[in-house]
């Protein structure tokens, strides 16, 4: 049975986290990333700077840390075990993307735009990609009945992350500030389809 007090604490933490991200992204839009301080973000969310750092280790993390990975991993766990790894990842990706509402998509667009425009965030994003390889690699290995650190599973997930980077990082021809963010999700799925088919040229 769930402890009501525990559930209340978790909801309060989720609200605080969401408030910090909302105010941070607003301030970044209004006055620029470099000109915005953690102190300003905390004040706007009516918490202390130390509270900010309990939720986000760095200013870059307030842009990068969303629940995208959580939704994809939860959706991946729901895919039939007989599906191939990449097919399961594609299905999980589509399920996760379908769960985002318009406001969430706009937040994702802003954070993606910042990730591409601000060198500090782009550098920190590499740590997030590495973390994703770790956690998704474990899920894929478990689905295949292999050990959590299985090399094959990690390499496969590394290839998936490579697809995402090739579509979203500078040098791609996709303009993050234009069109619907679902266009970007569709392009990622197209890239994963190429990977699934053996990357034909």
pLDDT tens track for 38-75: 999 999 999 999 999 999 999 999 999 888 889 999 99
Scanning the structure block, which residue is given the tokens 């990333």?
33
Query: Is there a contact between 96 and 75 (Cβ–Cβ < 8 Å)?
Result: yes
| Residue 180 DSSP one-character state | -
- What tokens does 117 get? 């425009």
- What tokens does 61 get? 């993390």
Residue 5 has pLDDT above 80, yes or no: no
Q: Burial of 38 by CB count in 10 Å (0-12 exposed, 13-18 middle, 19+ buried)?
A: middle
β partners of residue 54? none
User: Residues, the chain, total?
Assistant: 201
Scanning the structure block, which residue is given the tokens 């200013």?
59
How many angstroms separate the CA atoms of 192 and 89, rounded?
9
pLDDT tens track for 124-136: 999 999 999 999 9
How many angstroms separate the CA atoms of 184 and 163, rounded?
12
Q: In Å, how far from its chain's centre is CA 172?
A: 19
Query: Of 89, 189, 195, 91, whose CA–CA distance to 139 is shortest?
Result: 89
How many angstroms separate the CA atoms of 39 and 64, rounded?
19
Q: 85 Cβ partners below 8 Å, 6+ apart?
A: 140, 143, 144, 153, 156
pLDDT tens track for 76-100: 999 999 999 999 999 999 999 999 9
Residue 175 has pLDDT above 70, yes or no: no
pTM of the model: 0.86
More confident residue, 177 or 157: 157
pLDDT in the model for residue 143: 95
Q: For 170-188, what is the mean pLDDT?
A: 70
Alpha-carbon dihedral sign for residues 171, 158, 92, 131: negative
Scanning the structure block, which residue is given the tokens 């470099």?
34
pLDDT in the model for residue 94: 94
């Amino acid at each position: 049975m769930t402890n009501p007090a525990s559930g209340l604490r978790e909801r309060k933490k989720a609200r605080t986290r969401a408030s910090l991200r909302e105010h941070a992204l607003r301030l970044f839009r209004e006055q620029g990333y470099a000109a915005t301080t953690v102190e300003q973000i905390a004040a706007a969310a009516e918490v202390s700077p130390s509270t900010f750092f309990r939720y986000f280790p760095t200013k870059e993390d307030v842009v990068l840390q969303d629940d995208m990975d959580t939704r994809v991993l939860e959706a991946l766990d729901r895919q039939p075990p007989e599906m191939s790894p990449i097919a399961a990842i594609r299905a999980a990706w589509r399920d996760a993307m379908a769960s985002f509402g318009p406001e969430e998509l706009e937040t994702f667009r802003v954070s993606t735009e910042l990730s591409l425009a601000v060198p500090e965030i782009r550098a920190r994003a590499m740590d997030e990609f590495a973390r994703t390889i770790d956690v998704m690699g474990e899920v894929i290995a478990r689905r295949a009945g292999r050990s959590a650190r299985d090399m094959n599973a990690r390499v496969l997930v590394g290839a998936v992350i490579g697809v995402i980077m090739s579509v979203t990082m500078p040098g791609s021809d996709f303009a993050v500030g234009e069109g619907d963010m679902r266009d970007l999700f569709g392009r990622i799925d197209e890239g994963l389809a190429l990977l699934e088919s053996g990357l034909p040229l």
